[in-house]
Structure 1
Amino acid sequence: MTKRPLGAQISHMLKDRGVDTIFGIPGVHNVEMYRGIEEAGITHVLARHEQGAGFMADGYARAAGRPGVAYVITGPGVCNIMTPMGQAYSDSVPMLVISSCLDETAATRGQLHQMKDQRAAAETVCDWSEEARTAKAAYQLIDRALLEFDVARPRPKHIQVPIELLGTDAPDFPSGGEGDGRLHHADAIEGIVLPYLRQAKRPLVIFGAGAKTENARMMVEKIGAACFSTYAARGIVGDDYPLDFGATLSYASSADVVASADLVIAIGTELAAVDIQRNHLGHSCPMIRVDIDPECLFDQQRAEVRVHADAADFVDLVIELSDDGAATDWTSDEVAAARAKWRAEADAAYPGIIPICDALRDALPDDTMIYSDMTQIAYVAKEIWPMKYPGHWHHPYGFGTLGYALPAAIGGKIGVGDKPVAAIMGDYGFHYTMQELGVAVELGLNIPIVLWDNAKLKEIEDCMVQSQIAPNAVFARNPDFCKLAEAFGAKAAAPGSLAELQDAVQAAFAADGPTLIHVTPDILG
């Protein structure tokens, strides 16, 4: 047996379970957690703020397909990472936050970093938050979190460990378990689902981010289905499937398309309000709902058939068991016409943004991991920008927090190594986490950072005008962003045309560090 302080044992256990990177900031309350990081062979990424550490862990998890892990201190460290935890909860991202906590709070007041109830505070924005009061409990909670990331809907977990316990010698952690804990309900496919498929002439499949499978395209082709995807599932069938309506469920007239289907199959999606922008999807035909999260199977969409199963298993069984050569009444012309209509609506709502999106798309390699913030370029792009591969556009979809893109892109770049990563953000969102640019410089990460600067909170201004409110508090004095980037040690560019924008993006991928690309409405001439 190897006796080490528990803080060191935790790092060794995480390494044994496959964790290779931890994001965080050390402090006097969690210093024991740092004792074993290097010895265990784990890379630690020093963020400039705990919010940045959380977003980096989120971005790493989305890009690498492995849980993102963060170490933070008691009190303000936990509070600072709660925004990223809330975002990860909303978007079903596997993030494990491990923090220290005070040994005793009930009888002693005025301690450093003291909160009334730190564990309960964290629980408001994550799947669960637990305190480990023994080494055995810490080990069990870590394994529980990692297992649940695999077998259930992946959402952030928080484990806190008392400061004294972290520095106390602890026995070895148990060896890792093996086996596949995924859920399988195969009997529902052949006995219940196939009869619906055999009768349908206009089946419509809606893929969500939970539909993690390489065979989505094969399934829709085999059953003759048209499809939509949620924003987070873009690219799941490829960008050239002729019956793909894209991530356009938010358009009001998409309800008419849904209403024309004679069978709807929703796979791995909660059909969230941020995706469909209405209470009911719009179908009057039978619905088959497939999800690993039972909560999604019993919502207001009123599915006739509820399949509690892993999405990939369901898709594979449909392919295996359904009939070949299914006839379909869907046509590529009606799909193309609908997409053209919605693209025109986006262009009318956000004049000038689509040409910028098109120019960026042409300049980025197809396999670029893109991280976007709450900004108008992203609002348009996530609807009209076709994606060739799934899981390559990451956005703070549900929680909708500003400041996500830059630190998340840093985490994503660390997760994918030499593969291309880009960030897209607005001027105001950059203010939230701009300090993390120092991390990208320090690590030499060649990330193009496209900063859309319209010198205002334009989306909020438009909302105020639509609400007949005189625009107020929508202007903030911006710095010279290029000089600011250069002060950090980053490169900077201010393209004056779309062609120069494309050149700047391509040059950024060849650089030896990050490049901030400052884009204003003047780029359109």
Structure 2
Amino acid sequence: MSRTCAQHLLQLLEAYGVDTAFGIPGVHTIELYRALGDSAIRHVTPRHEQGAGFMADGYARASGRPAACFIITGPGMTNIATAMGQALADSVPMLVISSVNRRDTLGRGQGRLHELPSQQQTLAGVSVFSHTLHDPSALPEILARAFAIFRGARPGPVHIEIPIDLFDAPVAESSPRPIEVFPPAPAPAATARAAEWLTSAERPLLLLGGGCVAAPDAARALVERLQAPTLTTINAKGVLGLDHPQDLGATASLPAARRLAADADVILAIGTELGETDYDLVFDEGFRLGGRLIRVDIDPQQLGRNHAADLALVADAGETLTALLDALPGERRDDGRAAQVRRELALADDLELAPYAPLYATLRATLPEAILVGDSTGPVYAGNFLASLPAPRRWFNAATGYGTLGYGLPASLGAALACPERPVVALVGDGGLQFVIGELATARDLDHPVAVVIWNNHGYDEIRRYMAMHEVPQLGVDLTAPDFAGLAAAYACRYRKVDGPATLGEALGQLNAARSPLLIEVDAEAWMAAMR
């Protein structure tokens, strides 16, 4: 008894719990799609391979589970590379399965269809690892390696390319045996020392990153045990719940939070790379840690980057949070530092942020359980400071890490597929939306009422203002926006145009009235004029 390599691949993916694949079929993946017809894996067709990658990214961030991407040789892989780069920067699991030319032609430069000099090397730079399959019997080993990374190490995209002459190659029948992976726990001696430092600290500070999103209860319990002010990164937003008194959010780039960090005598940083897009958004390298730094990360290489640790623990964030809770004594008194910093920050009164506060108040009042997915656009930059979420995995965007445009819409569709019980809102700019405008057709196909809130400022306004600030001629940033009402009609989507919180709330209130996507165009100029 035998089956094809493609059938074997799909059976293994099902055994590992993969239930969704994003892809565009091509002549090089025909045999994979032949096998897919008999599989339980749901297939979603985006309108561009970059969209496939962003959808898989949003699926994983919303659910914590990886999805697969089925991508053709050559242009399909270069198209998805940007999405893989974003996922790599933000430690998002993604399994990219691609075709590649026949084994006997690889590296020969014969001008074959979709040929690259080395597709594997091209994609290695945007993946945790990239592997060319030469023997179908090796598939269980390669997938075991991928899922060991997804579940027990710092995750990211994994690329497996299969030569087109192997998809229908016979493989001996066997029962899939996925391995069960447990992430590393902290060393007891390191836990004891960290607990000792934190117990004796007079001014402790916590820095919680995206590595903590799988353990929100333990994170909240530790913060409350220590009664310590906490900076949560963009990808950790919601990990302490709604409006937690110790949660100062992603404000590490602001003066009051920086003074707090410089004054802390012991800092515990868990699951955060301490990178520029979370701690230095003003790009002046002004974030300083004055006390002893305890760093916890599942990736040992990360512990030596950006800020040198005085004590470094290679361990899973959730395991460490639990171990520290067991090692620490009873709850401390709140010394009021978080409240003081919050008063100094005065985010609601900030001239740059205040006009966006009613937007988030409206979202919170109208769709309190929504997943908010953002592109690189003004409201999202502001929301990274302003938005408070009831749980993790409800806020993610491309304004951090790799910082690509075109992320918001397709990633929101992945989130909607992963969590169909929740409303999903994409926050996008008119410029960024035009990178992936064809994915409105995918949104229509999904039969799920995603709201696409378009901040229409007729161009790349963030870059426009940055140019003005640095006295650079404002070239290439003024765009003619599409007729969004006509666009919505063309894609069989609903449409509303709004100019303030009241009309936005009315529009969002209609989200679940039908299954089709809802495009909400915000006149940015009118909104800002009304809010100032």
- Identify which range, 275-284 or 208-217, moves more after superposition: 275-284
On the 8 A contact 2:253/2:278 being kept in 1, the answer is yes
Which of 296, 300, 315 is the equivalent residue of 1:294? 300
1:391 matched residue in structure 2: 393
Matching of residue 144 in structure 1 with residue 145 in structure 2: yes
Q: Deviations over 1:11-69 (max 9, x none)?
A: 12111211111100000001111122231211100111111111111111111210121
On the 8 A contact 1:59/1:412 being kept in 2, the answer is yes
Q: Deviations over 1:143-190 (max 9, x none)?
A: 211121000001101000100011212223553244443112241355
In structure 2, list runs of 5 or more residues that go unmatched: none
Q: Cα distance, 1:224 vs. partner?
A: 2.1
2:36 matched residue in structure 1: 37
Q: Which amino acid aligns with 2:393?
A: G
Q: Cα distance, 1:114 vs. partner?
A: 0.8
On the 8 A contact 1:8/1:34 being kept in 2, the answer is no
d(CA) in 2 for partners of 1:427 and 1:520?
Answer: 10
1:282 matched residue in structure 2: 288
On the 8 A contact 1:55/1:84 being kept in 2, the answer is yes
On the 8 A contact 1:52/1:436 being kept in 2, the answer is yes
On the 8 A contact 1:189/1:317 being kept in 2, the answer is no
d(CA) in 2 for partners of 1:435 and 1:459?
Answer: 24
On the 8 A contact 2:63/2:393 being kept in 1, the answer is no
Q: Which amino acid aligns with 1:28?
A: V
On the 8 A contact 2:91/2:154 being kept in 1, the answer is yes
d(CA) in 2 for partners of 1:504 and 1:287?
Answer: 47
Q: Which amino acid aligns with 1:157?
A: V
2:451 matched residue in structure 1: 448
1:320 matched residue in structure 2: 326
Q: How does 1:62-461 map to 2 (within 5 A)?
A: 62-103=61-102, 104-172=105-173, 175-211=176-212, 212-213=214-215, 214-277=217-280, 278-279=284-285, 281-340=287-346, 342-345=347-350, 348-349=351-352, 352-365=355-368, 367-396=369-398, 397-461=400-464
Secondary structure at the counterpart of residue 35 of structure 1: helix
Q: Which amino acid aligns with 1:409?
A: S
On the 8 A contact 1:225/1:330 being kept in 2, the answer is no
On the 8 A contact 1:201/1:327 being kept in 2, the answer is no
On the 8 A contact 1:20/1:41 being kept in 2, the answer is yes
Q: Cα distance, 1:208 vs. partner?
A: 0.1
Q: Cα distance, 1:122 vs. partner?
A: 0.6
Secondary structure at the counterpart of residue 502 of structure 2: helix
Q: Deviations over 1:461-518 (max 9, x none)?
A: 1111111112111111111112101110111111243211111012013321101000
Which of 478, 488, 501 is the equivalent residue of 1:475? 478
Secondary structure at the counterpart of residue 165 of structure 2: helix
d(CA) in 1 for partners of 2:109 and 2:190?
Answer: 59
d(CA) in 1 for partners of 2:362 and 2:31?
Answer: 49
d(CA) in 2 for partners of 1:32 and 1:383?
Answer: 48
d(CA) in 1 for partners of 2:151 and 2:174?
Answer: 20
Indicate how the Cα distance of structure 1 residues 319 and 350 shifts in structure 2: closer, same or farther if over 3 A, else same.
Answer: closer
On the 8 A contact 1:243/1:335 being kept in 2, the answer is no
d(CA) in 2 for partners of 1:349 and 1:321?
Answer: 43
d(CA) in 1 for partners of 2:372 and 2:63?
Answer: 13
2:54 matched residue in structure 1: 55
Matching of residue 21 in structure 1 with residue 24 in structure 2: no
Secondary structure at the counterpart of residue 27 of structure 2: coil
Q: Which amino acid aligns with 1:505?
A: L
d(CA) in 2 for partners of 1:329 and 1:144?
Answer: 47
d(CA) in 1 for partners of 2:476 and 2:432?
Answer: 15
Q: Cα distance, 1:391 vs. partner?
A: 1.6
Q: Which amino acid aligns with 1:386?
A: S
CA-based RMSD of the aligned residues comes to 1.7
Indicate how the Cα distance of structure 1 residues 22 and 200 shifts in structure 2: closer, same or farther if over 3 A, else same.
Answer: same
Indicate how the Cα distance of structure 1 residues 263 and 343 shifts in structure 2: closer, same or farther if over 3 A, else same.
Answer: farther
In structure 1, list runs of 5 or more residues that go unmatched: none
d(CA) in 2 for partners of 1:333 and 1:253?
Answer: 11
Q: Cα distance, 1:95 vs. partner?
A: 0.2
Indicate how the Cα distance of structure 1 residues 463 and 9 shifts in structure 2: closer, same or farther if over 3 A, else same.
Answer: same
Indicate how the Cα distance of structure 1 residues 62 and 53 shifts in structure 2: closer, same or farther if over 3 A, else same.
Answer: same
Secondary structure at the counterpart of residue 123 of structure 2: helix
Q: Cα distance, 1:253 vs. partner?
A: 3.7
d(CA) in 2 for partners of 1:108 and 1:334?
Answer: 65
Percent identity at matched positions?
35
Q: Cα distance, 1:261 vs. partner?
A: 1.4
d(CA) in 2 for partners of 1:200 and 1:25?
Answer: 55
On the 8 A contact 1:82/1:125 being kept in 2, the answer is yes
Indicate how the Cα distance of structure 1 residues 186 and 107 shifts in structure 2: closer, same or farther if over 3 A, else same.
Answer: closer
d(CA) in 1 for partners of 2:40 and 2:479?
Answer: 44
Q: Which amino acid aligns with 1:101?
A: V
- Identify which range, 262-271 or 489-498, moves more after superposition: 489-498
* TM-score, scaled to structure 1: 0.95
